[in-house]
Structure formats: C-alpha cells, structure tokens
A and B are shown apart, each in its own frame.
Chain A
Amino acid sequence: MQPPSSDVLRGTLDLLILKTLTLEPMHGWGIGQRIQQLSRGVLDANQGSLYPAFQRLEQKGWIESEWRTTENNRRAKYYRLTTAGRRAVGAEAASWRRYVEAVELILQTT
C-alpha cells in the first residue's frame, strides 16, 4: 500500500502528461520540459518518475509510443495520445477540478 498522498501526486502527473500530449506527440524529455514551461517553472516533475508514468498510461491504452528521429537526427521514443486517451483527458481534468474546488472550499472556510 502506498501512502494516499503519492496516489494523488501520481494522478496529477498522469493528467499533466496527457494534457501536454494533446498539443502534439512528444518524447519524454520534451514532455518534462513542456510541463515545466507551461507551469512557469512551478511544477518540476521528477524526471525519473516520468518514465514509469509513461508505461502506466501506455498499459491503460491512453498513449502509444513509437521510435522516431528528432530534428537533430537522434533516435527518440515519441508518445502520442490515443482516442481513448483523448477522452480520458477530459474526465481526468474534470475530476482534478472537482478536487481543487473542494480543497479551495475547505481553505476558505477555515
């Protein structure tokens, strides 16, 4: 059993990855960079934890991977959202918003 807080964290990371991938297929490093940029440096995802997350999402069938060549002519594994993944982003985002609202409510009342 994992402590519950890490579950939340993990769920967040999955959502961030999925959201990032809605723009375009990307490789792992790129995804990490993009999350950092988009959150203006607030969210610094632990880079090592990205990769197990990729496998998890791939097993859920939400993302697919494929080896491709980068602009610099390097081989890299690119991840891309599947149709199921695209649907999941909406649901995951909604659930995240509910969570945030709930936390916000509690913070305001106390």
Chain B
Amino acid sequence: MSAIKGFAARLRALLSPRTTERSLNEEIEFHIEQETEKNLRLGMSHAEARRRALVEFGGLSQTREAHHDVYAARPLEELVADTRYTLRTMRRTPVLAGAAILTLALGIGANTAIFSAVNAVVLQPLPFPNPKQLYMVWEENPEKGWYKQVAAPANMLDWKEQVAAFADVMAYSEGFGTATLTENGEPTIVRPAFGTGNFFSVLGARAALGRTFVDAETWKTGHRIAVLSHHLWRDRFGGDRNIIGRTIQLDGAPIQVVGVMPASFDYPNEKVDLWEPWAWDPSNRQQVSFRRAHWLSVVARVTPGISQDAANAQLQAVVKRLQRDYPGTNRVMGAGITPLHEFLVGDTRLPLLVLLGAVALLLLIACANVGNLMLVKAADREREAALRLALGAGRRRLVRQALTESLVMSLVGGLAGIALGMWGTRALQAMQPAGMLRVSHFNFDWVVFGYVLAITTVSGLLFGIAPALWSSRRAPQDALKEGGRGGSQSRRMRRWGERLVIGEVALALMLSVGAALLVRSLLRLQQVDPGFDPNGAIAARLELPGTRYDTGDKANNFFSRLEEQLRSIPGVQSVGSTSDVPLTGGGYSSDFVVAGWPEGTYGSEVLHRRVTPEFFKAIRTPVLAGRAFTVDDRAKSASVVIINEALAKKHFKGQDPIGQRISFDKVPDSSSTWSTIVGIVKDQHQSKLGIEPQIEVFEPLTQSPTGGMSVIVRTAGDPASLGPAIRRTVAAMDRSLALSSVETLNQIRAESLARERFLTTLLLLFAGVGLALAVVGVYGVMAQMARRRVREMGIRLALGAQANDVRWLVVRNGLRLVTIGLAIGTAGAFAATRTMQALLFGIAPKDPLTFVVVPALLVLTALVATWMPASYASRADPATALRAE
C-alpha cells in the first residue's frame, strides 16, 4: 500500500512538474513566513526578521534541486530528455538521420513482409476448431516408391470403421478437372471438389446458408446436391439468399444447392467453386478397383486426448490386417499420419525459411550500416561526451543516452519499415505464383507486430551497443586532449569500424552466394530440354460433359471435327490433342507387363496419356523409332501404343521394343488387353523441368476415349493471337461449352518455373539491396578512416610519398578487411547454403563457380568503395592537412 502511495507521488511529480513545484514553493513560503513571525516576536525589525529566516533556511535553490532529485522519477525523466535530445539531433542532421532510417526501414520492411507470410502459412493454426486433432492419413508403397500418397477408397473406409483412435475420417479429391455451369447466361467453367458426406463435419466447418452434407450422402441418394463457395454464390448468383433448394445446371445435369459456405472457408484451396458429395454406389465397396486405385486425400480427426503415436499404432494394426486380408492390392501398402497443418505447409516451409534467413542477413547489414553512422556521430560528439564525463556525468548515464538514441532511431526506422512491410506484404501476395502459399491472404496481425517490435528493439540494441560502449569507455582526459586537436581517431574507434567492414562483407557474401546459387539453378532449369518445342504453339483445355458426350464415339468425333476446323484457320500449321499437357503434371499411372517376361514380373508406375494422331507433330516431339498414330488407329482396330524413350531404355535393354506387346495388368489373364508398341518418342518432362521424365505410354484417343483434352495448335505467327479464334470455333460447335484454359506452351513452361523464379527474384532482390547497403557501409567506414588519416597522409606527402603510395595504403587496408570478411562469409555461406540443397537443380550447394565469381565480384565492388576514399586521402594538400588542427 505504502509503495503504491510512494509511486503515485513520483508519478504525479513526473506528469505535472509545475504543480509539484508550485506546491513546494508555497510550502517553503509558509515556512519562511512562520520563521519571520517568530523572529518578529523576538523583537527584530521586519527586514531583519525576514533576512534571518532566509539565512536560517539555507539555499533555496539547493533545497528545490534536492527536492527535485528525490521526487522526479529520475530514469523516466532522463528517458524523456534523451528522447527529446535524439529527436532534436535528428532534426538537426536530417541527411544522416534519413539515411539511417531509410536503411533500417528497408531491413525491417523486408522482414515484416516475409515474416507475415511465414506467420500466415507456418505459424497460424488451421482455421478449424481444435485443428491439432486433424491428421492427414496417407499411403506408401516402397515397391512403387510412393511416399505420403493419396489413398484407395476401400482402405479409407476400413480405417474409418476400424481405427478406434479416429473419431471420424473423411476424404476428398481436388483434382477432378472442371465442370461447365450453364445458368444465368454464358457458360462458365467452375472447379468442383468432391468429398465424403462428412467432409465438412470432420473439419468442423458450418455453412453460412443452408446446410453442409450428411455422412450418408457419401453414398448414392438418387439426386445430386452441392454446396457453393462464397465467391461463386456472390459472383454468379448475386448473393441470392433464396438459392438454397434451387436446382442449377452443371454439365447439363440438374443439381440441387443445399448450402453456401462462409467466405473464410476455402479448403482444400481457394479455387474450389463448389463441393459435391461423391454419391458412390454401395456395391463399389466389393469391387477390387475400389482398393486398387489410389486417389483420395484422407483427413482424420483423432479422438481428443489420443497422441499421434497412439493413433498411428492403432492405424498400423489395421494396415497389417488389410495387408493380410487383401494381398492382391495391399501386400506392400503401408499408411501413416502427419498433422494436417504440417502436411499442408509441406514444401513451402523451406523456401519461406530461406527467405526469412535472407531478410535476417539483410537486417544485420542494415544494422551494421546504421551502427557505423552512429559511431561516426558519436566520434563527432567525442568532446561533448568527454566534457560531460569530466563534469561528473555517470558512465552508465552516457551509455543509457547513447542506447536511447539508437532505440529511438530504430523505432522511427521500424515505423517506416512497417509501412514498407505492409506494402511489401501486398506485393508478395500479388506476386506469388498461384498455390505456392497455401494461404492466399495474409495480414499484418499482432503476431507480426510483436515480431517487428522485437526485431526493431534488437536491431536498436545491436547497432547502438558499439557507439554506447565506445563513448563511455573513453577516459575523459584523453578524449578532451584528442578532441582539442580537432577530433582524431582512437584505436578502439577504428577497430569497431574494421569489424563492421568485415561483418558487412561476410553477410553480403552469404546473401549473394545464396542468390547466385538460385540464379544458376534457374538458368540450368531453363536450359533443360522439355522434350517439345514450346515456341509457336498454344494449348486450349476442354472438358466435354459426360452427360451429353456419353459415348467414346461422341467424344472422339467432337475432337476430330474440332481439330479439322482449327486446321482451316489461316496460319495454323498443325493441330493435335492430348489428355495431359507436358509440364502440368502427368495423368494416371499403372503397372504393366511385357509379353514374354517371366511369370510374376511386372513394371510399375508407367504414366498413361491419350493423344490424337497429329499430337507429336503439333507439339514437335520427335518420333525416334516406328511411327506416330494415324487416323487408321481406330476404336475397333488392333490396340496400339507408343512408348517414350525412358520406358524403352529402362525396360527393353538391348531389345527393339517395336512390335512387342504390352499389357497394363499386374497379373494378366485371359481378359487382359494386349497392345502392340508401334513407336518410340523422345521424352517429355511431364510434371516439371526439374524432375526427370517418367516412363510413359501414349494411347490413341480412339481406343481409350476421354472427354477432357487439351488441343495443341501450332502456328507460324503469334500463338497467343489464336485464342479468340479457338474460342469462336468451339462455341460454333457447341454453345454450352467453355474453354477452361487457353495458354501458349511458352506460358505453360514459364508457369512450371514460377515458384523457382519467384524465390530467385526475391532472393536476388534482397541480395541486391544487401550488397548495395554493404558497399555503402564499406565506403562509409573507409571514407571515415581516410578522413581521419588526412593529417598522416599530408605528412607522408610532405616527406615525399607519391599520391599512388598513399592511395595504395588506404586501398590495401580496405582489401585486408574485405579479405577477412570474405573468408568468414565463405565459411558461413558453406554452412548456410547446405540447407538450400532441396531448392537447387543441377548444381551443388558448394558450386565452385559461384564460390569464385561472387567473392571476386565483391572484391571488385569493395575496390571501388575503397578507391574513392583513397584518392581523397591522396589529394590531401600537405600544407592544409598539417594546418587543419
């Protein structure tokens, strides 16, 4: 209680110093009057009485001062004073302050932007109730090299029923192509996601309007239902609240809207326009394909209180049982669980952490630069500090003042940094390649604010500590003496400067090496031959609704007529179609057996693609042996396939594959189809340039019909200009069709590198800024050193040294520091870039070229940075230099 009263008294005094002073004055006045009255009663004259009273009281101003010392909350008051003082100096030296603040703002701004992404993607929990109970359940198959893969429906249903630790298990699939919504005018392409009936309830998501699915709707109910995403409901249906219960036309079939999700719900990704339950036929469960085909993403909600290990142990027991009960499909099929959040963050974590590391280095460089500025300032104020020390100021007081200065500086820089960071955050969201960050919107929230505050404070301390310690450790008499000679250097001051140069060079080297590695890796990627000619061709994606194109013939006819009509467009050289465009991910894969192989042997994971006869010509993939498909490869003619080079090399060592027969069953029987290999084509990179081509077979569309195809149109002119003509052609053939994408092959190729380019661009940007800051920093320190040696240089010149010798003296000193910095930086870069291994293609993290060229470039830049101060020093006029006292 008494402590509180005491504190209240201090606070009052701090907040209203005038009231306190007035009160004290009144009290003293009262005292003196009383004393005067007493003296009057003792018989003194009025003047004498008052004089004696004043003498008796002692020094009035001393009392006031003493009173003030006791009263004012001293540290607080000093803080206010120091802050005011700092702001005043900043106003007096706007260029210096501006440079420091801008430097800090760059460092802090970059950190803010990157951290806000890390926060949203990695740190923030999933937006579902009790998100820690959610796990991704995946399958693995060592024989096929599967790890963390999608699961088979029958296995998923068994887990749901038999693993007691799973409160519930749902499954969904996002890769189900597109559908055409013919409602309210123009046909639009929408992206549906399919899930089990408990898709929403396992996540704990509720509908904003209407309802979500019920578990029973996993199975066929007789009529189709859908839940709309908020954006589809808003954009396509004008936010009509009466939509619930209405029937809309999807791919020409009626489907009833039962609910609308809130805007915040975007699982599994923000592109999903509507969700549909699968409505499986219950008889599917007995069919072997339900256990053989793997295509489900499975999410389990674990019973509260059950650990990951316990849940996994129970799952393994069920997995073992399934392996025993279904050897045909499950003999080597394993399964496991990963926390859902961790699974979804997946491979975005590493790039984000690399970026976070890069901006941390950038901030350190910025701190070193500002530290140097502060040091220079402290040196200029050397005399002031010395004088204050001599007059009795405590060293601690001086340190505190210096630290306050740097903290105020960093806070102002931090504010500017936040502004820059907010802009950067928006730029980052706009620039990020689609789907790279799982979260498409991230905001500046309290976590980010806390982080910014922390790094701001830490950087303030970092760059403030050197000048603070430096100024306080000085012996006043030395400083005053040196100060008397017009501010010369102390050895300690120079050591700090040298350390800064070394540090900055080391940091800049680490940053630049990281960026250079990524650049080299990207260049390598761009040189990879995709297996086709991306120039001069455009791809248009089309999904024929199965409701109207319900037979293979109808689909085949449509595509052959479409190709025919497109060929008649002027300038078009060739037209061919494929079920999957290279570099966008492959189609489905299967096992296979070649006729004549010993019984029981089979190959795995061969990709399948359907193509039309002119596809290889249109995309310019050379046929290496045999022939391409022709119009004579009809539905009813002999079954034929074309294989890629990888398959020929891997499984037909030394034999000619042409004419051999292949089947896509693991254990062929009398019902199996055998296809004859008629050609070998050059490998296309199916999923990414950085991933080796997989073994693949091509089937003629006629013999394996599908409604989802991409038409490749090659032209002599600009392929992009063909887009409208293709749209018109499709619309003329079927009004209700819409193209789900129209992109040139070059665009597709660029998109497949978008992530790498994004990461490289950002790192290059940070490295560039870091390098520029470091060069400025090195220049600053060297210039300062040169300036301080002008007198020395003057003497040297007067004694007969040549300008060149003097220049060399300064440059040599600079190079010595740069070399030490490079050595440290190289060691650091070796250690740091190891973590980047997974992000690099075709080069090692210890890439020799990078580790030679980047340091060489740095030496060159550092030479420039030291040359200017050196030539300044060499121009010192001996007479003026010696007189400059």
Contacts and interface: CB of A to CB of B under 8 A. Distances in A.
- The finding on whether chains A and B are genuine partners in a shared complex, rather than unrelated, reads yes
A18 B30 CA distance: 21
Given A55-B67, A59-B70, A77-B30, A48 B2 contact: no
Given A46-B58, A47-B35, A56-B70, A77 B27 contact: yes
Given A29-B31, A47-B31, A59 B26 contact: no
Contact of B3 (A48, A61, A75, A85): A61
Interface string A10-52: 0000000000000000011110110000000000001111011
Given A27-B30, A75-B26, A75-B30, A52 B69 contact: yes
B9 interface: yes
A92 interface: no
Contacts of B5: 58, 61, 64, 82
Contacts of A98: none
A52 B63 contact: yes
A48 B31 CA distance: 10
B24 interface: yes
Given A51-B24, A59-B9, A61-B3, A76 B30 contact: yes
B884 interface: no
A84 to B, nearest CB: 4
A48 B58 contact: yes
A58 B20 CA distance: 14
A51 B20 CA distance: 13
B31 A28 contact: yes
A72 to B, nearest CB: 9
A32 B164 CA distance: 85
Interface in B37-63: 38, 56-60, 62-63
Interface residues of B, number: 31
Contacts of B69: 52
A75 B56 CA distance: 22
A41 to B, nearest CB: 14
B205 interface: no
B2 A74 contact: no
B789 interface: no
Nearest to A47: B57
B62 A60 contact: no
B30 A48 contact: no
A84 B4 CA distance: 12
B2 A29 contact: no
B1 interface: yes
Nearest to A88: B2
A47 B9 CA distance: 22
Interface in B1-31: 1-6, 9-10, 23-24, 26-28, 30-31
Contacts of B66: 49, 51-52
B9 A48 contact: no
Contacts of A32: 31
Interface string B302-330: 00000000000000000000000000000
Interface residues of A, number: 27
A61 B1 contact: yes
A48 B6 contact: no
Max chain A Cβ within 10 angstroms of own Cβ: one of B2, B24, B33, B63: B2
B30 A51 contact: no
Contacts of B38: 33
B813 interface: no
B2 A51 contact: no
A51 B27 contact: yes
B71 interface: yes
B2 to A, nearest CB: 2
Contacts of B62: 48
B34 interface: yes
B884 to A, nearest CB: 42
Contact of B57 (A48, A56, A77, A84): A48
Contacts of A62: 2
B12 to A, nearest CB: 11
A56 B35 CA distance: 23
A48 B70 contact: no
Nearest to A46: B58
Contacts of A52: 63, 66-67, 69-70
A18 to B, nearest CB: 13
Contacts of B35: 29, 47
B2 A61 contact: yes
Nearest to A74: B30
A75 B9 CA distance: 20
B235 to A, nearest CB: 67
Contacts of A28: 27, 30-31
A65 to B, nearest CB: 9
A35 to B, nearest CB: 13
Contact of B2 (A27, A60, A75): A60
Contact of A59 (B6, B30, B58): B6
Nearest to B34: A29
Interface string B355-395: 00000000000000000000000000000000000000000
Contacts of A58: 5-6, 9
B3 A47 contact: no
Contacts of A33: 38
Contact of B59 (A48, A64, A74, A85): A48
B30 A60 contact: no
Contacts of A48: 57-60, 62-63
A10 to B, nearest CB: 11
A31 B10 CA distance: 23
A48 B4 CA distance: 27
Contact of A47 (B1, B26, B56): B56
A43 to B, nearest CB: 14
A49 B30 contact: no
A64 B10 CA distance: 13
Contacts of B28: 51
Contacts of A29: 30-31, 34-35
Nearest to B28: A51
A46 B57 CA distance: 7
Contact of A49 (B10, B24, B31, B63): B63
Contacts of B2: 60-62, 82, 84-85
B31 A60 contact: no
A44 to B, nearest CB: 9
Contacts of B34: 29-30
Contacts of A55: 9, 67, 70-71
A108 B23 CA distance: 48
B221 to A, nearest CB: 77
Contacts of B30: 27-29, 74-77
A104 B35 CA distance: 36
B5 to A, nearest CB: 5
Max chain B Cβ within 10 angstroms of own Cβ: one of A28, A60, A61, A84: A61
A51 B26 CA distance: 12
Max chain A Cβ within 10 angstroms of own Cβ: one of B1, B10, B24, B30: B30
Contact of B10 (A30, A59, A75, A85): A59
A51 B61 CA distance: 12
A51 B63 CA distance: 7
Interface string A64-95: 10000000001111000010110000000000
B262 to A, nearest CB: 56
Interface string B630-663: 0000000000000000000000000000000000
B6 A60 contact: yes
Contacts of B27: 28, 51, 76-77
Contacts of B63: 48-49, 51-52
7 A-B pairs with least C-beta separation: A61-B2, A48-B58, A29-B34, A52-B66, A84-B2, A59-B6, A48-B63
5 contacts: A48-B62, A59-B6, A60-B6, A61-B5, A62-B2
Interface of A: 27-30, 32-33, 46-49, 51-52, 55-56, 58-62, 64, 74-77, 82, 84-85
Given A47-B35, A48-B58, A76-B27, 13 more contacts: A29-B35, A47-B31, A48-B57, A48-B59, A51-B27, A51-B28, A52-B67, A55-B70, A59-B70, A60-B2, A74-B30, A75-B30, A77-B30
